[in-house]
Chains A and B, each alone.
Chain A
Amino acid sequence: MSDVERRVREVVARTLKIDPGRIEDRSRFVEDLGAESIQSVELVAAFEEEFDIEMDEEEALDVKTVGKAVEFIQRYV
C-alpha cells in the first residue's frame, strides 16, 4: 500500500466515521461507504488539507471510489 493510499484511507475513515477495515479500493463513497453529499464535500476538503493540494471541484465529481481518489490525488502530489 502506497503512502498516498494509506493516507487516503485514513482520511476516508476519519471523515465518514467508519471502520478502516471496511475500506477497499473499489469501495464507492456514496453507495458503499454511505457518504452523503455534505460528507463528500468534507472528504474533498480533508484530502486537500491532508495533501496540501487544491482539487478541482468539477474533476472531483468523477471520483466515485477510493481507488479513483488515490489515482486522482497522486496526480497532484
Chain B
Amino acid sequence: MSAGSSRTGRSLLLLAPLLLFLVGFFVWPLISMMSQAVSDPAVLRLLPRSAEVLADWDRASPPTMPMQAALMEDLKAVDDDQALGDMVRRLNSARSGFRTLMAKTTSALDDTVSPPADLVSIDQRWERPEFWLAIADALSPYTDRNLLAAVDLGRNAAGSIEHLPADQSVNRVILVRTFWIAALVTFACACIGFPYAIIAASLTGWKRDLMLGAVLLPLWTSLLVRTAAWFILLQEQGLINDLLRWLRIIDAPLPLIFNRTGVIIAMTHVLLPFMVLPIYSVLITIPKNLMPAAASLGAPPWRAFLRVLLPLSLRGVASGSLLVFISAIGYYITPALIGGPGDQMISSIIAFYATGSANWGMAGALGVVLLVATLLLYSVYARLSADEPGRR
C-alpha cells in the first residue's frame, strides 16, 4: 500500500508544475476576462462616500443634504482626470445630460473663493431624483450591461431587459455573420471532404498516400503562409484571375479578395484537413465487404451508399463538421487579411474592442459569448469522439 501511495505522490508531483502553470496562465486569464465583462468599478472607485450615504436612500425622494455633501466631498477629492472622464462617460451612458452637469459641477467646486453651499445651488438638475438614481445604479461594482449589450439587449429606465434600438444593434449582426460564415465553410468542407475521404479510403498504396499527403501538407504549413498564398492567388492581378482571363472565361477580373468569396475559399482550404481526417479514420474501420454484400443483395450503388456507407460514416462527418465549425467561429487571421469590412467575424470585433478602443468590458463580454459557444460545441464533439468504439 505504501508503494502505491508513494507512486500517487510522485505522479502528483509530476503533474503539479503544468497544473499550476495552466491554472495561473490559462484558467486565470479566462476568469479575469470574464470578470472584465461584468466588473464596473468606474463610478464606485471615485465616489466611496456617496456610496455609503446612497445605500440608505429610498430611491424616490429628492436628495438629502448628507447625500449632496458626500458627493461634493467625493468630487473635490478626485485628482485623476482620466478616471473622472471614465466615470462621466459611464454616467452619461446611463442618463444623458450628465456630461454637461458634471462639467458645470466640477468647475463650480473648484471655486475656492465663494464655495457653493450645496449641489442644487450649482445646478437645479441635482434636485431631480433621476440623476441620483443613475449614480446609485452605477455604484454597484458588477454589471450585466456589457453581457446584455453583447447580444444587443439593454435595460430600460425601469430596469427590465429590452432590445437595444436598431442604431446600436451591431453585435447580433456580427454573431449571425460569424455563425453563417462558419456554417458555409463547414458545408463547403463537408461537400469536398466527404467524397475525398471516401475515395482515399477506397484506394491502396501510393494513391492513398498521395491523397493523405495532400491533406497533411497544408495542415503542417503555417497558417500565415497559407493565408499569404491565398492573398497572392486571389488578388486582382493574381493567378486565378490571370488564368480565367487567359482561358477567356471572363473579360474583367473578378473581385475575389476583400470580400466574402475570398474568405470562404481561404477558410475552406485551411480547415479542409480537419474534415477529411476524422471521416477517413471512421471509414477505414468499416469492413470492406459491406458494399459488395449490399450490391450482391441487389442494391444499386446509390442505394448501397445511402443505406450502408452513409449511416456508418455519419459519426465521422459529424465530428469533422463540429471540428471545422468550432475552429471557424474563432477565426481571426484569415478574415482579417482576406476579408473586407463586411466579413469581419466576432474575433475581429473582440480584438477591436480590446486593442483599438480599450473597451475591456465589451471585449470581455463578447469573449464570454464566443468562449461559451466554443466550449458547448466542444463538449458535444468530445462526447462524440469518446463514443468511438476503436478508442476504448
Co-complex (A, B)? no
